[in-house]
Structure 1
């Protein structure tokens, strides 16, 4: 771990010195203030003289280096391991948004996720090496029409209200701001994942297929959608918890809205920022929901099955506040959300991001209810409180900004006998605004005894993130 910290510090100091030296030389030569080197801009191609028709392309690359404390009884590639080092592609994506007419746009996102030395593989798995050649797939693919545009097409002036309608594979989600999170503007090294109530179960990487509307009504930003959830068909055990099984094929309904007290956000795409480096004064309060009838099923007694509705509610507050002298560019970011999940009796879901481990059948010690590797209790029927904060330190460089952060989650699941506290602490180093980021994070998770359903141990995980966004 010391090597990772030293590497981060070395990279940071090298970039600071190089950029500061370059700026000093340029200023001496011209004695004219330089254009801010942090403003990289966007990849946008206008295809008409008025700029009413255009194509935007985005690129996002996130690489992880990790040290994982594995849960008891973990095999990695067939060998018992207490600790595992790995390197992985957390996200690698390309986006394209095109406005064909002032009224009509198309949004596409394609890429891969979660590829490591042992997971995320496609055609190269098996005897030729696990984890190779993952398949590209569309994350988003939808069309959108402006009913009331943000700006008047004839005068160019902003409209007080706007309204858009669209259809396709989309992430105009309900429940909370985090359920609509931007993965390129995260406060920590990653998002907590329980913010996506159906992640990789009844959705495709937090997306469902359907129709949506979104827009602004004065200071209220809103989004609503009606979707066809992806099919699930798990079979419950007798007397066990509810499991995902939506064979009846009911539609899902979701929505989220927030009131903007100070500066307003522009939502030309579905993703909401979790971190703007506190450049603007922002305070938003929101609430949302997700509902799907007969989404899960249980078997209280043999051959007797009961269906259960899935209903999730969320309320949150998001704030960014510049602090002190503007020249210091300090700022505080705060976010808090409360989730209420109901998936049916004792429903619970475990997950470990890019989990390298499998269960060791020969292990004789105390096993965790969560399973092997870095699995944790993700979510289930019950409540979760999430609190997140970050502080941008006073400016000391023209290239880099430093932002320590802290996450805390309190999970109260009906299937467990004890509440669990989860936390992440770390520091992010930003270069060229938010186009480049290095983050070092430590995460701690409780482990539950498989028999008593109470906490008996804790494990941790170090993450070193390298991110480029254009």
Structure 2
């Protein structure tokens, strides 16, 4: 009986302990509060509506690139098949000020694509310097200076700190460093909103064509000297440039975007609900020229001038998918028609991993995609592009942020290639430690290499090459 009593007491004690344990409230999980990075702003009046603000940006690349056939580094083909390098893709410092209710000042200095092949004693240069006056509140501001109020597409003026992929869709910067300064040019402009229609229009005086940015060794076609031109292959003219007309307008169906400066966001990570459809135009009279054989004069050629015109249409969609987890989607697609003149094509390699290229398979004078990481980015013809990204739930990695995988592509059909498709694609993932303020991106790009058998033949795709990039971005 005593043993039974002891057993009953033990069971009652265990039951009581379990019952008490069930009533214990488990410790609350530590809440991960988002850290808000306040802008570096100095108020100029009591309510802060007049202010001066400063920002900064650093994008550092660590890269491994499979160089194009025939690539050279410092004039040498040895060890030029592949390249490992570290570089500064972008450095930016901005200062802008709302000086009065209507007067706005904006300036930016920075540098692009500083790598091991760059000239040393790296220095910042003036990128933007504009001032505008709001003539009609919200509807019309007029300004002037060195700026980027241009078309024909959304990312012709890209807010580089908010890029969804590794880099922007650079082909949309249709004359980058040819007759502009990294997209910027001297201009007068008007911008504003009419209801949900956001618009910009500018008249610019292009710079004289920069032949140094179009060295044939890197495949960056565009040299304007008549002596270097093939018959029926257009390049940018080195003559006194005519004014250039730019416009871009977007109907913003949902949330409205700011237009204090010209640069348009790549993705909002679901903090806004965006659905925009935009159209744009660039036009410059007699911007291009080419030689055309003159049958009446054996061996002679006439110089033909040609307009430059691009027309674009695009759609942007970005929205949260789940309010509790803050997952989000970002999508962008664009179509661009470009007329640079007969057979124009320009190769470009961003922060090119090689500084030159030799004739491919012993065919001097024929076209190739150039050295390093270059490919045919722009040309007379049509281009379709798209990008899609998915931001995973907030705090997926706890206090270390979340992830955003993405994919993007450019598909072009250029006259010089007989409209055969030129396709580039990127896949990657962003580690958003603190949104755009602190993020690490890993990207793989695959691109084609085109070569011409003889001057009479259209270029053909002969191989494809890849590039891996690890980027760290810091912004304030």
Normalised to the residue count of structure 2, the TM-score between the two structures is 0.84
Tell me, in whole angstroms, the C-alpha distance in 2 between the residues paired with 1:319 and 1:291: 28
Q: Map residues 348-367 of structure 1 onto 2, 5 A cutoff.
A: 348-359=345-356, 361=358, 364=361
Tell me, in whole angstroms, the C-alpha distance in 2 between the residues paired with 1:34 and 1:361: 55
Query: Is contact 2:143–2:190 with CA below 8 Å preserved after alignment?
Result: yes
Partner of residue 318, structure 2:
320
Partner of residue 408, structure 2:
407
Partner of residue 220, structure 1:
197
Deviation of the 1:255 alpha carbon: 0.4
Deviation of the 1:261 alpha carbon: 1.1
Partner of residue 428, structure 1:
430
> Aligned with 1:328: secondary structure?
coil
Distance 1:368 1:251, change over 3 A: closer
Q: 359-368 vs 274-283, which deviates more?
A: 359-368
Partner of residue 22, structure 2:
none
Partner of residue 225, structure 2:
235
1:148 aligns with 2:136: yes
Q: Map residues 122-137 of structure 1 onto 2, 5 A cutoff.
A: 132-137=120-125
Deviation of the 1:399 alpha carbon: 4.2
The unaligned stretches of length 5 or more in structure 2 are 1-26, 212-223, 294-299
Q: Map residues 253-272 of structure 1 onto 2, 5 A cutoff.
A: 253-272=245-264
Partner of residue 206, structure 1:
183
Deviation of the 1:135 alpha carbon: 2.9
Distance 1:364 1:314, change over 3 A: closer
May I ask how many residue pairs the two structures share in their alignment?
418
Partner of residue 18, structure 1:
none
Distance 1:180 1:358, change over 3 A: closer
Tell me, in whole angstroms, the C-alpha distance in 1 between the residues paired with 2:445 and 2:259: 31
Structure 1 residue corresponding to 2:469, chosen from 451, 456, 463: 463
Residues 196-231 of structure 1 show CA distances to partners (whole Å, capped at 9, x for unaligned) of 011000111011111001111001000000010111
Partner of residue 419, structure 1:
421
Tell me, in whole angstroms, the C-alpha distance in 1 between the residues paired with 2:50 and 2:326: 36
Larger Rg: 2
> Aligned with 1:327: secondary structure?
coil
Normalised to the residue count of structure 1, the TM-score between the two structures is 0.85
> Aligned with 2:261: secondary structure?
coil
Deviation of the 1:85 alpha carbon: 0.2
Query: Is contact 2:65–2:353 with CA below 8 Å preserved after alignment?
Result: no
Query: Is contact 1:368–1:447 with CA below 8 Å preserved after alignment?
Result: no
Residues 248-288 of structure 1 show CA distances to partners (whole Å, capped at 9, x for unaligned) of 43111010111111111121111110111122221000100
Query: Is contact 1:111–1:136 with CA below 8 Å preserved after alignment?
Result: yes
Partner of residue 389, structure 1:
388
Tell me, in whole angstroms, the C-alpha distance in 2 between the residues paired with 1:69 and 1:87: 15
Partner of residue 87, structure 1:
86
Deviation of the 1:365 alpha carbon: 6.5
Deviation of the 1:76 alpha carbon: 2.1
Residues 399-447 of structure 1 show CA distances to partners (whole Å, capped at 9, x for unaligned) of 4121000001111000013211110000001122221111000000011
1:41 aligns with 2:43: no
Structure 1 residue corresponding to 2:146, chosen from 157, 169, 172: 169
Distance 1:250 1:365, change over 3 A: closer
Distance 1:107 1:362, change over 3 A: closer
Distance 1:238 1:399, change over 3 A: closer
The unaligned stretches of length 5 or more in structure 1 are 1-26, 122-131, 151-161
Tell me, in whole angstroms, the C-alpha distance in 1 between the residues paired with 2:155 and 2:440: 21
Query: Is contact 1:71–1:368 with CA below 8 Å preserved after alignment?
Result: no
